[in-house]
Structure 1
Amino acid sequence: MMLGTPILVFDGPCALCNRTVQWVFDKDASERILFTSLQSNWAQTNIPPSLRTIDSVLFFDGTQWHVKSDAVLHLVRELPRPWRSFFELIIIPKALRNVGYDLLAKFRYRLFGTGHCALLPKERVLE
């Protein structure tokens, strides 16, 4: 594991996920965040076994893993203002936040389709 390095793990075939990855890449002024898909060899060998079967975005903040809405909020915390301000939503109970996350996740393919569109420099991708 790359301690201290933030890593975003996303669903590779998901068009919404790929657009989100591209958005995060564009906003990441520090160029610290690395990216990999849930389907990558890196993910299958480096993500803790208990998280490998979770159908959710994962975010490693440099010291620990976060899933679902926690992953999204810890991710925006790594971005510059005004985006990092959204981390304040962490005060909303996780169960409530995850209802919204789960609803979007359930219908993401139907609403946004599939497609690999995140074009990132090799040095920012874990394969």
Structure 2
Amino acid sequence: MIRALVAVVLVAAAPLARAADPAADAARSYRIDTQGSTTEVKAGGKGTLVLAIVPLEKVHVHPQAPLKITLEARGLTLAKTSLGHKDAQDPKAEAPRFEVPFVASAAGKQEAKAKLDFFICSDQWCVKQTRDVAVAVNVK
């Protein structure tokens, strides 16, 4: 009898446990896209680093909450190393996209790194996210 009662309680609580983890839901609700970034360029040539926060479900990047992207690169000279909402292609977009020009300053396999801090939100939650992204650039 007790085992049956415990089983019923566990089965009833399972959906609540899944629904009660906004951090896990938030982490699965978007992806960081670098498609469109220049991945091959001649030394001294110009390229573009592209970063987009792409919602996969019914979520959005909160337009008033802090959004900061810190960039660093080895062998590439970036036009900007710090980005915020105002730097997005469309600052009011629910899926902000950023394009940062660069000049390839050294030949070889180079890399641009980005640290993204932002808030992803649904109708039920709003959770801060921090993601690191790297884009490889082959400079000839």
**Structure 1 or 2: more strand by fraction:** 2
Q: TM-score normalized by structure 2?
A: 0.24
**Structure 1 or 2: more helix by fraction:** 1
Larger Rg: 2
Of structures 1 and 2, the one with the larger relative CO (CA 8 A, separation 6+) is 1
